[in-house]
Structure 1
């Protein structure tokens, strides 16, 4: 099976992917605290990217666009333990908690390496994945509360992130799209993340860009791919997924139709320099 998930609760799961290339674009509704057990993955967000390997622990904030690419690594499956830090759990946790003021909090991914306290918290969940019955609610609440407490201990500024329960506000559409066009998401999702309905998103987009979202997105992704291949000597097969295409054949066809030559020609030219 390509993908398997074992849930000890609806908020805590063990995920396993076969050792082959896997790519998806996603926006999480909840903060995701992840322990990467085996494999290697690359996560791309606007203006930055991260590579994670065995032992890494990290937090992906909610409502943030991301491309996730799992790469084959020694024929071992990609295994992660994932804990959903839902808004309801966080509201319950922070009731009565005094929050220290901070200078603000970035909504970028937080890396914690293989921090021993977080690792111990995750490792203590391992026996529960072999149970035939779900983890009782009160025990699940204890484990999630422990994880949140550890995050606050390790990162003094994380309260600002975890206590932000707002829905996306209406954003500057041009700025948002220029930073996030490489994410292959449904237009409805782009609309939601910019604080718009689908109809309003399309209307505003046409007014600002004088074209349709689909045409603009394809052109921007191809231009980025051309830059990555010609100036960064990146492999077309890697660039294809990182700029928002679903598969290499579609990418190669669209690239040749737009530029008049296939992306592999850029690789050959680079080798001659």
Structure 2
């Protein structure tokens, strides 16, 4: 994958490989415009497919798997704008809004709008530069926030909230998100708990340790994908939460008594 200005808040990405798959748990809101190709965002309960011309907001602290690939003979290309807390705080100091309550934001999609079209068109010439001046980036990020406010009256409930996730039902969250490869600290954070409290509440809910439970759930999901969906080990190990194929194969054989490729016929 090629990225220009990848150290900045505005990034142009060109996916030149045939297929790119990763997990994200972004720490900043990201406003994304797809220029060509396709991006699929897979969450626990829903999958989004975005193609050329689509604009959407990925909220912070969102567990998801992202698949980027060419489409209609064109490579994956996109523009991504990180809306970092420091820039958002600075913006809302100048443009205050009412107190925002804690909530769990979801992916927001935006219909085509003249303001969005002109904004992203104005960014394209900057990607010919090796480094975009910070003053320009600051102006364009502020412009993006202003445009979102104009086209979505509820966007401030997402962008102007700076608190941490509130405490939620741990068992329900884990059952929905066990396939995402996160640290125990991140699972705790997203359920509104410290690491110590997370482990304590997890033990109460499942009567085992988080790591043992996660491994078993991921292997059960992998077994289902291999037997019922007729997929290959190389296609499923990453999606169910393992970092590499060899570790997955070792854990699978230890759990079921045979390697995962024994199910491929």
Alignment pair present for 1:182 and 2:179: yes
- The Cα of 1:11 is off from its aligned counterpart by 1.1
Matched, 1:244 2:241: yes
Match of 1:62 in 2: 60
- TM-score, with normalisation over the residues of structure 2? 0.82
For residue 10 of structure 1, the aligned residue among 8, 15, 24 is 8
SS at match of 1:125: helix
In the other structure, the counterpart of 1:34 is 32
- Superposition deviation, residue 41 in structure 1: 2.3
The whole-number CA distance in structure 2 between the counterparts of 1:42 and 1:60 is: 12
TM-score by length of 1: 0.80
RMSD: 3.2
Is 90-99 or 43-52 further displaced after alignment?
Answer: 90-99
Aligned CA distance change for structure 1 residues 8 and 181 (closer, same or farther; 3 Å): closer
> For 2:238 and 2:65, how far apart are their aligned partners in 1?
8
Structure 1 residues 100 and 75, CA gap change in structure 2 (3 angstroms): same
Gap regions ≥5 residues in structure 1: 269-273
1:1-273 equivalences in 2 (<5 Å):
3-7=1-5, 10-71=8-69, 73=71, 76-95=74-93, 97=95, 99=97, 107-112=105-110, 114-137=112-135, 139-228=136-225, 233=229, 235-236=231-232, 237-248=234-245, 250-251=247-248, 254-259=251-256
Question: Distance between the aligned counterparts of 1:260 and 1:132, measured in 2?
Answer: 54
Gaps of 5+ in 2: none
User: Kindly tell me: are residues 90 and 239 of structure 1, through their superposed partners in 2, closer, same or farther at Cα, counting changes over 3 Å?
Assistant: same
Q: CA deviation at 1:246?
A: 3.0
User: CA separation of 1:157/1:102 partners in 2, compared to 1, >3 Å: closer, same or farther?
Assistant: farther
